[in-house]
Amino acid sequence: MQRLADDLVDALLAASRALVGVSSASLAEVADSLTLTQFRTLVLLAEDPDCTLGHLAKRLGVNASTAQRQVDRLVSLRLVHRREAADDRRQVSLRLTAPAERLVERVLTSRRTAIATIVGRMPTAHQQLLIEALSDFATAAGEHRQVAAAAPGW
């Protein structure tokens, strides 16, 4: 049983390295202007328009002041808008600017294309098994599964 667990962990680590390589390559065009964490913040905001700072901090797994610094930098880069609620100025929502939306779409499209190419090299029967196995893995890890392009994922 332990050998199976070790083999599984080794396989997941190898797959993780491949996916990190794909992610790194897809971020190459923005590497000079954005950190990985900043891009992740943009992706989370793309998934949740009008997200609040508190909700963003929770999704990033950081405290509110750390999230605030991320947002301040993205606002200065003109990638995020802050909007106060009309009925409660303490309630501020965050939204991507149009250039940020295009940037996220471009990077994620590049990533999806690279992953599709890799998956296309696998036998069809293994592709279905991989869907099931990775879906179970993501669920066990606490990730929710994204549906196609409706939610861009990270």
Looking at residue 146, what is its pLDDT? 52
132 contacts 142 by C-beta, under 8 angstroms? no
Domain containing 86 equals 2-150
Which residues of the chain have a pLDDT value below 50? 147-154
- Residue 12: CA atoms inside 13 Å, Cβ hemisphere, count? 11
Looking at residue 15, what is its pLDDT? 94
Looking at residue 29, what is its pLDDT? 78
Looking at residue 145, what is its pLDDT? 53
Return d(Cα 33, Cα 120) in angstroms, integer.
Answer: 32
Return d(Cα 71, Cα 95) in angstroms, integer.
Answer: 10
Domains held by the chain: number:
1
Looking at residue 144, what is its pLDDT? 62
What CATH number does the domain containing 14 carry? 1.10.10.10
